[in-house]
Each structure stands twice: as structure tokens, then as C-alpha cells.
Structure 1
Amino acid sequence: MKKIIALLGILTLTVSCTTASTTTSNDSLKNAFKNKFYIGTAMSLPQIHGTDVKSVEIIKNQFSSIVAENCMKSMYLQPQEGQFFFNDADKFVEFGEKNKMFIIGHTLIWHSQAPDWFFVDKNGKNVSPEVLKQRMKSHITKVVSRYKGRVKGWDVVNEAIMEDGSYRKSKFYEILGEEFIPLAFKYAQEADPNAELYYNDYNEWHPGKVKTVTQLVKDFKSKGIRIDGVGMQAHVGMNTPSIDEYEKAILAYAETGVKVNITELEISALPSPWGTSANISDKVAYDEKMNPYKNGLPMDVQTTWENRYLDFFKLFLKQKNNIRRVTLWGVTDNQSWKNDFPIKGRTDYPLLFDRQYKTKPVVDKIIKLTETR
């Protein structure tokens, strides 16, 4: 009898071990991509302060990296010269540390959400190049030094190049010319020599932009200025860009010797209004046409949207040796900036979690991709 019991015990142990070995641990995005690249999301203020409780749980369970959606932009960090507001940014960084995440700071130099005072004197005139350099250095040094060793990577300069490869005619460019970009990277490197430093942009697959940004990286390297990565925002739609176009851009950036970061990914399911127009008298009808899925995506559109996400993640996995991070620009559909862009009232479905905080079926399909790639 003792022999039979012992034999049964061995059989039970064998079955248990077999069951355990076939159970996948890839039950979340962060587990699935653990040995591929960081998978991240942008965090809004309700998430940073913990009031959006359901969203916070998704972030903790699903993502290994976070980026600040707004609270680290200069207009919020330094609304008045010399007056810094760090409360929100501090909480953001503390959240990332507590949950052992790869923390990204966004963004140090950007024309769009910079305070007006940054560029003018007391009379409202453009400041001299020397004054703007001083203000840039002061801002970057104060912010980067505060989070030295804690924020692991910075979007140093954001959206400075146009699709045709020309420089955006921002105030930074108007006062300092092309010099403002390398200066920003120098100041950031001095403030934290160990943080990763990135250039970040949208429509990043346009050949003209690719040509200028890759040349920028090469120029930096030839002058001994450190740049660790190029951020490809990946605000994409159902048809544009093609996967081939996007892969060519990834390879072009990677060939300069930097890592590629996919920094603000979402896929809009709505028709693009770019390149179309409407008479003022037809505006209501036009707005309706641009907002066709108020009550959810039809099944065929849902399938096409899922396949589009899967095609992009197949590409990211194919290029995993060149990719450092893939970050979604938000958690749930109800919080996405795409809902009201560029026409107020649009209802979009661009993210991986729905308006009820439920995981969309595409997430499991993305996870399964990692098992064979």
C-alpha cells in the first residue's frame, strides 16, 4: 500500500509539474515584452494623483514604462520665470519608482507648450540669443538635475523639423537658428550624464523629415554631442503610413547608431480630415461624416483596426534589436486626445483599453505575437 501511495504521489507531482511548465506567464503586456523592449503609456493628472483608480490599476498591471503626458512641459513646470511648480511631476516620478518603471521625461524644449515669457523681454520684444540660451540652460538644468538618476530618459527637443525636412519656424529657431537643438542636448547631458537623451517628432516617417533628423544625429556624433535615441511618435491612422514606409524610417534612424523609441502610439479608426475641405454651409454634414462611429466600431472596422495594430507590433518585434521602447499615448479610449481632434466632438477608439476600462481583444493577440517572435 505504501508503494502505491508513493507512486500516486510521484504521478501527481509529475502532472503538476507538466501543468506548471505549459502555463504561460505572458498574462500582461509588460510580461510579454519583458525581454523585447519596454512597453509604456502616457500618464494624465488623474492617473498621477490616483483619482482615476481603474486606469491606475491597468498601468500597474500592464506597463513597464511611463511618460508624463503634460505635467513636465515647460509651461507647467515654470509658468513664470524662476517660479517652478514640481508637485505633479514629483508625484509622477514617485509613481514610477514605486512601481519599478522606466521613467521618461517629456519634454524639455518644445515650441508649442512653452510659456510666453520664455522668448520676450519686459517690453514684449524677442530676447537676445544670449538671454534665450541662458533661459534654456537654466530651465533644463533645474528640471533634469532635480530628477537626476530617477528619470531614465528625456525627450530633449520635440517637433523641431517639418515634413519636408526644413526647420520649424518656432521662436527657438527665430532667435537661435539651428543651434538651439545641439545646445539643448549639451545642457541636458551636463545636468545628468547618465540619462538617455532623445529627439522626438511626429510624421516621423516622411522622407524629408527622416533625412534631416538622421543628418542631425550624424552631426551630433561628429561633434561629440550625445544623443541616444530618436522618438517616433506613431500617431497613425488606418491607411497611412504603410508598414513598409514605417520600417524604412526605423532602419534609417537605427543606422545612425541610436535606438528607436516608439513614443506616442495610437491608431485612429476615424477618417482623416486632412486634405479635405467643406463649404461653411455644409459644415454640419461634414462634421457628421468625420465622426461616423459615435456608438462603437462596426465589426468590419474593428477587425481592420485590430489587424493594423497587429501589423505594427509585428514590425516592432521584427525590429526589436533596434527598438528601446514602445509607448502608447494614453490608457483608455475615453481619455484619448484623439476624441476631439481636429474636430470637436469626434468619438475615437485608438487605444488598447475601452471606455469601460476593459481590455480589448487585440491585447491578447498582441501578447500572442511575442511567443513566436
Structure 2
Amino acid sequence: MSSRRTAPALFAGAATLLLLGSASATAAPAHADHHATLRALAAPHDLKVGTAVDVSALSDDTAYRAVAGSEFNSVTAENVMKWEVVEPTRGTYDWSQADELVDFARRHHQSVRGHTLLWHNQLPAWLTSGVADGSIDAPELRRILRDHITAEVKHFKGRIYQWDVVNEIFEEDGSYRDSLWLRTLGPSYVADAFRWAHAADPKAKLFLNDYNVEGINAKSTAYYDLAKKLRAQGVPVQGLGIQGYLDIQYGFPADVEQNLERFAALGMQTAFTEVDVRMNLPAGDTERARQADDYRRLLDACLAVRSCTSFTVWGFTDKYSWVPGTFPGQGAANILDENFVAKPAYTALADELKTTRRTGHRP
């Protein structure tokens, strides 16, 4: 998972889950029409509705596998496409877990979002230690980055519809994050990463991706300014990924739709890439209702702007949520609970998809 919203941002009736038979049985949200999954409801909108997938849970948990395959028409690897997993030893690639997810998606007629080619976290030890001890200098690091991006994008060529190329490169004030990439290569690494990814798969849409950029603020404006500059130079920056990590103790981000619109005006796509809405525990009906409304409002903004092409929740069940391990005392951030019972948040997304019309044209 990415580093998520570590500082405060400025910013009902539940459907039930039908569990058939034993604990190893399949599971699917129960509706009057049992075919009205989120993916079915999203289809008229020309919208990908997705989830991040824990590949270990996909292998071990039948209920998890059933919901992941039935509810969504897009999947994102939670961890298994990150650098430390796919290239644990320099020049030796292990695609096995990522290939497992891509094969699952093919069997279930799902698209795949690639996450992520370049980040400051979850890097292999051989890379970070080499930069730290000086055995990897700037020219060598640039070659390593080019080779990694080229190898990964080529491996999945034609099977990834959107790539998060560069992840979390700005601080909250809009300044560049102090990472080994910036310190060693300077800001030119961003343009290089996009050019290399595009050369490896010209058909994949290439995204910047970050948290705390839902509304118009210093950080999202830094991305807007960067995208405008790079696109003017011919760099294939084609989308902004808005992670969408919210916390109900803070206000809902302002100007979400207007933020999407300004990127659309640049000719770019947008996507909500990692949505969850956490809360302090224990949570009651009031908290769950507020959570549902936050999910709904993010989806509503996406549906209001035709260039918003996908809406991905960062996991769908609290059973496997990253939140409690990162934010002690918080959790319950997903649309299904630990027992795969749908929460008001699930109903809110389903109802929004049922009742909203999209108009306009996609860039």
C-alpha cells in the first residue's frame, strides 16, 4: 500500500451479503436483482469500478475471491507489482504473483490498473543500499530506472489499461518530496519515467498518482502545473490518479468536481484510484452514514466529469484493510465489513450508480 494521509487533510440502510453454506462458500451482495453488482451498475456509465486486490487473500479466501471476481470490472495489485516484489534481486524478475492477478482478471473479464512503476517506498534493498553507499551513482541509477520501467511495462504490455507511473512525488505544500530519486536525479526523472513507460506500451494510459489531491489545494495545484508543463513539452502524462483516502473526523474535501474539471481542460483523464474512508473505532450508525456519504460524494464527482474514467476502492472488506495497522484505533474503512456484509457505503455507491446520468465526451 502507499503511504496514506499521515496528517489531517484540509479538507443508510445497509444491503446484506448472502453467504451460501460454510465459511468456504462463495459470497455476493444480495439485491432484489442479484445481478445488480457494482460492475453491472457502472456499465451504462462507461466507468471502470475497481478494487485493489490482496493476492494472498485471493488464493486463500473463497469468499474474498468470489466478491473480487463478481463485483468489479477493474482490479489493481495492492502490492505485487511494486519494485521490491517484482525485482528483489537486481536483474532477476519475479512476475509470478502479478501474473496470478492478471490471469484472474482475464478469467473474470476485468481490466487491470498497474500500480506502481516509481515510488519512494517499497524499493528493493539492493537499490536503496546501493544509492546510500555510493555504489550506484546518478547515471547508473537512471539506467536502472529505465530498465525497470521498460521491463515491467513490456511484460504486461496490452494487459494494463492505466499505469500509475509516478507515485506521491509532492509534499503537502506543493514542493517536491525529498526522495532518493529527487536527490540523485533531480526532477527530470518524472518526464523520463513517462517517456520510458510510453515507449514500452504506447496504448496504456499513464498517470500521476497521490493522496490529499481530491480538491483544489497546494498539492493538487503542483500536479496541475507539472502536468501542464510536461504536456506542453510532449511528455505523455495522460491522467491524474486521486487516491481518495478520507477520514470522517475531517471535513469532506472542497472543490472535488472543479479539480477534476481543470485536469479535463488539459485534455487529461482522472481516476479515483485508492478510495477508502476510515473512522475512529468503535463506529456506530452515525459514523457509517457519514462514511457512506463520503463514498457517494467522491463517486458523484467522478460521474459528473466525463474524463473521470475509473473509481477504485482500496480493498473492499475490512477483513484485509491496511488502516488498523497504520492508524491505531481507526478502521472500518471499506464497503464490506470483516464478514463480507455490505455496509451503507456499498449501498450508497450502488444507489449513486443507479440514479446518476453521465453526459459529455471523454478525452
Match of 2:359 in 1: none
1:185-240 CA-to-partner distances (Å, cap 9, x unmatched) read 11111111111111101111361112211111112211111122100000011154
Counterpart for residue 351 of structure 1: 334
Aligned partners of 2:113 and 2:160 also within 8 Å: yes
The structure-2 alpha-carbon separation of the partners of 1:126 and 1:233, relative to structure 1 and needing over 3 Å to count, comes to farther
> How many angstroms does 1:243 deviate by?
4.6
Match of 2:346 in 1: 363
Alignment of 1:97-108 (within 5 A): 97-108=106-117
Secondary structure of 1:220 counterpart:
helix
Are 1:51 and 2:51 an aligned pair? no
- Taking the TM superposition and a 5 Å limit, the aligned residue runs for 1:1-373 are 27-36=36-45, 37-48=47-58, 50-119=59-128, 121=130, 124-125=133-134, 127-204=136-213, 205=215, 207-270=217-280, 292-293=281-282, 297-319=283-305, 321-343=306-328, 346-373=329-356
For the aligned residue pairs, the C-alpha RMSD in angstroms reads 2.0
> Judging changes above 3 Å, is the alpha-carbon distance between structure 1 residues 164 and 122 closer, same or farther for their aligned structure 2 residues?
closer
Question: For the pair shown, which has the larger CA radius of gyration, 1 or 2?
Answer: 1
- CA distance in 1 between partners of 2:323 and 2:130 (Å): 36
Q: Secondary structure at the match of 1:66?
A: strand
Distance 1:350 1:182 in 2: 34
Runs of 5+ in structure 1 lacking a partner? 1-22, 271-291
Aligned to 1:7: none
Q: Distance in 1 between matches of 2:269 and 2:155?
A: 25
Q: Is the 8 A contact 2:279 2:332 kept in 1?
A: yes
Which residue is equivalent to 1:13? none
Farther off after superposition, 308-317 or 83-92 = 308-317
Q: Does the CA contact (< 8 Å) of 1:262 and 1:326 recur in 2?
A: yes
Q: How far, CA to CA, are the matches of 1:259 and 1:123 in structure 2?
A: 37
Q: Please report the TM-score for the alignment, with normalisation by the length of structure 2.
A: 0.84
| 1:241, distance to aligned residue in structure 2 (A) | 5.0
Query: Within 2, Cα distance between the matches of 1:334 and 1:25?
Result: 23
Query: Match of 2:118, SS?
Result: strand
Q: Which has the higher contact order (CA 8 A, sep 6+)?
A: 2
Identity %: 27
1: CA distance, partners of 2:352 / 2:99: 36
Q: CA 1:211 to 1:307, structure 2 compared with 1: closer, same or farther past 3 Å?
A: closer
Could you list the per-position Cα deviations for residues 233-285 of structure 1 after superposition, in whole angstroms to 9, with x for gaps in the alignment? 00011154535332332223222211111000001122xxxxxxxxxxxxxxx
Structure with greater proportional helix content: 1
Query: Is 2:115–2:164's contact at 8 Å kept on the other side of the alignment?
Result: yes
Q: 1:96 to 1:261 in 2, by over 3 A?
A: same
Q: Provide the secondary structure at the position in 2 that maps to 1:150.
A: coil
Number of aligned residue pairs: 323
Query: Secondary structure in 1 aligned to 2:44?
Result: coil
- Verify the 8 A CA contact 1:210 1:252 in the aligned structure 2: no
1:83 positional shift: 1.4
- More displaced, 113-122 or 309-318? 113-122
Q: Which residue of 1 aligns with 2:16?
A: none
Counterpart-to-counterpart distance in 2, 1:226 and 1:367: 34
Q: Deviations over 1:345-367 (max 9, x none)?
A: x3511111111112224323322
Distance 1:123 1:168, change over 3 A: closer
SS state at 2:68 partner? helix
C-alpha contact (below 8 Å) 1:164/1:206 kept by paired residues: no
SS of 1:351's equivalent in the other structure is: coil
Measure the CA separation in 1 of the matches of 2:160 and 2:293. Answer: 34
Structure 2, unaligned runs of 5 or more:
1-31, 357-363
Mapped partners of 2:132, 2:226: distance in 1: 35
Q: Distance in 2 between matches of 1:61 and 1:81?
A: 37
